[in-house]
Amino acid sequence: MKKDLITVNQNGLYCESGDFYIDPWRSVNRALVTHGHSDHARYGSSKYLCADRSLHIMQSRLGRGAHIQTVVYGKTMTINGVEVTFYPAGHVLGSAQILVSYKGERWVVSGDYNVSPNRSCDPFEPVKCDVFITESTFGLPIYNWKPEEEISAEINAWWRINAFENRACILYGYSLGKAQRLISLLDPTIGKIITHPGVEALNNAYRLTGVDLPLTIPLNEIKDKKGFEGAIIIAPPGAEGSSLEKRAGESETAFASGWMQVRGNRRRLNSDRGFVLSDHSDWKGLISAIQQTGASRVLVTHGFVNTFVRWLNENGFNAAPLETMYSGDAGDDDTAGTGEEQG
Amino acid sequence: MKDFALLFRSLEETTSTNRKISALISFYESAPREEISYAVLYLTGNKPRRIVSSALMRSWAAEEAGIAEWLFEECYQVVGDLSETLSLIIPDSGKSGLFKMGEIVGKVFPLLAAADEATKKEIVKDIWRNMSVNERFLFNKMIGGSFRVGVSSQIVITSLSRYSGLPESVIAQRLMGKITPSADFIDVLLAEETTRDISRPYPFALAYPLGNEPEELGEPGEWQAEWKWDGIRAQLVKREGKVFLWSRGMELINDSFPDIISAAAELPEGTVLDGELLVMLDGKVLPFNSLQQRIGKKSPGKKLISANPVYLMAYDIPEYDTADIRDLPISERRIKLNQVISGFKGDDNRILLSPVLDFNSWSELREIRRGSREMGVEGLMLKRKSSPYFDGRKRGDWWKWKVDPLTVDCVLLYAQPGHGRRAGLFTDYTFAVWDNGKLVPFAKAYSGLTDKEINEVDRFVKANTIEKFGPVRSVTPMLVFELAFEGLQLSTRHKSGIAVRFPRISRWRRDLDIKDADDLQKLKEYLKAISPGDADAGS
Ligand SMILES: [Zn+2]
Ligand SMILES: [Zn+2]
């Protein structure tokens, strides 16, 4: 039997022929990184390779001292005779699916991906391959995303009502990706957009990369309660219930995540509102992505792994689980992992 | 239906009373009046009856979504609510606002109720395809008979009062009685003057639980004490020769209690009595479950009635001789009540007078209260002699001084995920006590823990699961809880042989090891103490 081009060992996804890792969870010599979330981009490896659109984010995550090499989307590089190409994954800015080709065999490691449009990053691009490694964070048919314009309208309507009543809005979203996407969906004519420091650091990385975000005001520049009236504050979920809510005076809070699709999660939330906005593919998105790869084999990582594998196998695909240390949507919450403090 | 579905969603998503009230007010401002009438109907305790079984809805939804039953089950486990799972898996067509509540309730429901299974399926599927996720959720809740919303009638009354500018008491009284949803109903509800509905009861005067000792209430002479009966609170209305029996849930319950209705024929014209429905045999109050057999049963047979005869234990009279006498002090109302009840002739009077208890000091009353369990009552009611029959709850005038609940320390044995608000968290627990060195399950309880504790128990369950049986998990017996309950009785359906009433978790005994948990013997002793009659049933 032919050996797999990519296998999992104690350090992460490993390509033996090219002697490199993809999104390793331990320190290794050479790490190819799909995107900046802490469960995929971990501190401590000697050399990193990422998409060039990810550079400023990686620097902010891994520290300026990290040895980071970049490559543009679609350009093929050779590492020890193995070809690697990065393609946009539509998850966060600079996120990539990595195509690994060797002796005519093509494997794609997709990291986290989202096939629905996201105006703050490059759109997902399907890549033909033999073996497709997919996440399954929202791999159940109850997860169906509405177009982001609809969510944008919901959020702005909520903000407008509160602004009208001079209340502040506090909108929680993961600091990398979700926060910038939320900011790009806001209507800046309603009021001020204020950002938590963890979010602002990544806004800068987005702006340096050329993404046009509306004007944001760092939280520490607001000196009194009056400054929060009618404004929206974008903060990571880790800041929830902290002094922020006290500081902002009369306010309403909301949380934006794919998990908000389920009412039980909305109710359990400490926030007043839940907006259904995800940077991962929904059920149909996962299936269409897999179909478009034409892969003869699908390996399923973090999420509803067993359910999704069973569904794939019952519906004409050839799928198996692949045990990794990625943590799905929770991995997007950097307040829990290697956070801004290192950048 | 679109507005109501959105309202339903906002009500579900906030726990703040003020936010609920503002959501309701903005709904009144934007929704058509007929839609508002349905919201008022369903938010004041009326529930649509189930017309489609959940098993059928499940299979139709799986079919419509093109997914296998096992995948449906997986989804249900994650969502935790059937109606919601159904609404989420059906592909969204982007359609919404196509149905009015009046069409759904007035036309579709009767059609569904009369249709055969195949037709039912076609109707339901067609509606699903033409609704938004929110609307489908509401629709499923209604046809599945599981419509419930975390809003009290009081919130509805307050919001309507703020919206219309009418006093809450007017709204409350107009809302009692039968609601026939229509735009006209809302016009009448919110109109300045309205014609009087002869069936309408008064808003029930409610009591607060007495937190401290009665000494703090001051002079015992200013207080009237009665037994706190353990039955169904009801108002019996007699006007223009007709009789209406209302439960506190604002349900007209004439059909279930024909024995009370015929007894009420003797009542004088223009009388409203407030009291408790009880099942009594030979002057002794029977446990609540005998009453339970009567509650749900419309047009009960002779046998059921004679085995479980119901009495109204009357303790107040808000209307006397066609006049609203709610503003008179209870001491004076009591005199009128005596007159009315003593007017009954015959020997099997189904309308009785709840006695006023004689006492001179609080310690004397405390002594009387000790006899509560033996009397089959929950404790005492204390009413200020000068108190009017007020509308709803008023702090300081009426108190319930219940006997302390029975408690037992028991061990967590099984857990299963809750539905609704706590979907996905392990919140439904089964507890066990010791019996000959073995833990026997004896009660289920859902409430009593804080959110923080629930999360902690949830993590414990996930980390200490021994076996899974469907959604139920057995866990390593490690956690001890104190369970409080109101009463208990022998049961053949329970492994332990005992069924407890209103069990709830009173605290988490982190200080106890499972070997310190109580023995079944303790429950048996409680049983003996409460119903000495059961021990020698023959006498
Ligand atoms: Zn990610
Ligand atoms: Zn991930």
**Average pLDDT of the residues in A51-65:** 92
CB contact under 8 A, A264 and B81: yes
Which of A267, A270, A306 is the mutation pick for testing B, counting most B CBs within 10 A? A267
Is CATH 3.30.360.10 the right assignment for the domain spanning A7-142+279-331?
A: no
pLDDT at A338: 30
CATH of domain B205-402: 3.30.470.30
Q: Of A142, A146, A267, which has the smallest distance from its Cβ to B79's Cβ? A: A142
Question: Stretch B60-79: mean pLDDT, rounded?
Answer: 92
- More confident of the two residues B281 and A195: A195
Nearest-Cα distance to chain A for B84, in Å, is 8
CATH class of B406-538: mainly beta
Q: How far is the CA of B22 from the centre of ligand 1 (A)?
A: 38
List the single residue in B89, B423, B425 with the smallest CB-CB distance to A141. B89
pLDDT in tens, A81-133: 999 999 999 999 999 999 999 999 999 999 999 999 999 999 999 999 999 99
Average pLDDT over residues B504-530: 83
Q: What are the sequence ranges of the domains in chain B?
A: 2-143, 205-402, 406-538
Domain A148-275 has CATH 3.40.50.10890: yes
Look at residue A268 in the predicted model and tell me its pLDDT.
74
> Does residue B58 surpass a pLDDT of 50?
yes
Q: Do A266 and B13 touch (CB under 8 A)?
A: yes
Report the chain A residue with the minimal C-alpha distance to residue B423: A264
B380 vs A122, B225, B229, CA distance in Å? Answer: 71, 7, 8
| pLDDT (average), residues A259-264 | 88
The reported pLDDT for the residue numbered B331 is 94
Tell me what percent of the residues of chain B surpass a pLDDT of 70. 95
pLDDT tens digits, residue range B4-42?
Answer: 999 998 887 777 788 889 899 999 999 999 999 999 999
Give CA–CA dist A222/A100, Å, rounded: 48
Residue A201 pLDDT grade (very low, low, confident, very high; cuts 50, 70, 90): very high
Q: Which of A33-47, B89-103, B124-138 has the lowest mean pLDDT?
A: B89-103
Instruction: Report CA-CA distances (Å) from B47 to B145, B148, B493, B506.
Output: 7, 8, 29, 31
In the predicted structure, residue B354 carries a pLDDT above the cut 50: yes
pLDDT value for A318: 96
The percent of residues in chain A predicted with pLDDT above 70, rounded, is 94
pLDDT at B296 over 80: no
**A273 vs B: CB within 8 A:** yes
Q: What is the DSSP string of A267-300?
A: HHSSSSEEE---SS--HHHHHHHHHHHT-SEEEE
Quickly name the fold that domain B2-143 has. Answer: DNA ligase i, domain 1 (1.10.3260)
Q: In angstroms, what is the span from residue A137 Cα to ligand 2's centroid?
A: 8
Listed range (A244-253, B193-202, B526-535) with the worst mean pLDDT? B526-535
d(CA B60, CA B69): 10
For residue A299, pLDDT over 70 is answered with: yes
Higher pLDDT, B349 or B15: B349
* B146, B147, B148, B149: CA torsion to nearest 10: 150
Q: For A15-24, how does the pLDDT look when each residue is reduced to its tens digit (9 = 90+)?
A: 999 999 999 9
pLDDT at residue B360, rounded to an integer:
93
Render B392-407 in DSSP notation, one character per residue. EE-TTTEEEEEPPPEE
Q: What is the pLDDT of residues B237-269, one digit of tens each?
A: 999 898 999 888 667 788 889 999 989 988 999
Give B 86-125 residues with CB within 8 A of chain A: 88-89, 91-92
Number of Cβ within 10 Å of residue A57's Cβ equals 29
Q: Judge whether residue A307 has pLDDT over 80.
A: yes
Q: 391-430 in B: which are within 8 Å (CB) of A?
A: 420-425
pLDDT score for B249: 67
Is a pLDDT exceeding 90 seen at residue B276? yes
Q: What integer pLDDT is reported at residue A242 of this predicted model? A: 67
| Per-residue model confidence (pLDDT) at position A1 | 65
Whether A2 shows a pLDDT value over 80: the answer reads no
> Would you state the pLDDT for residue B166?
83
Q: Is the pLDDT of residue B535 over 80?
A: no
pLDDT of residue A336: 36
Residue B250 pLDDT: 66
The pLDDT of residue B539 is 29
Indicate the pLDDT class of residue B169, thresholds 50, 70 and 90. low
**A266 contacts B70? CB cut-off 8 A:** no
Nearby residues for ligand 1 (ion, Cβ within 5 Å): A 37, 112, 332
| Average confidence (pLDDT) over A1-28 | 93
Query: Mean pLDDT over all residues of chain A?
Result: 91
Q: How many angstroms is it from A173 CA to the middle of ligand 2?
A: 16
How much distance in Å is there from the Cα of A158 to the middle of ligand 2?
A: 30
Domain ranges of chain A: 7-142+279-331, 148-275
Q: Which token pair is B324?
A: 């609203």
| pLDDT value, residue B534 | 37
Span A261-272, mean pLDDT? 80
Ligand with an atom nearest the CA of residue A328: 2
- CA nearest B264: which of B284, B239, B247? B239
Report the length, in residues, of chain A. 343
Residue B536 has pLDDT above 80, yes or no: no
Q: What is the pLDDT of residues B415-425, one digit of tens each?
A: 988 766 566 78
CA-CA-CA-CA torsion for B194, B195, B199, B202, nearest 10 degrees?
40
pLDDT digits (tens, 9 = 90+) for B423-439: 678 888 999 999 888 89
The pTM score is: 0.65
Q: What digits encode the pLDDT tens for the residues B85-114?
A: 999 999 888 888 899 998 999 899 999 989
Residue B129 touches partner A, C-beta closer than 8 Å: no
ipTM for the complex shown: 0.90
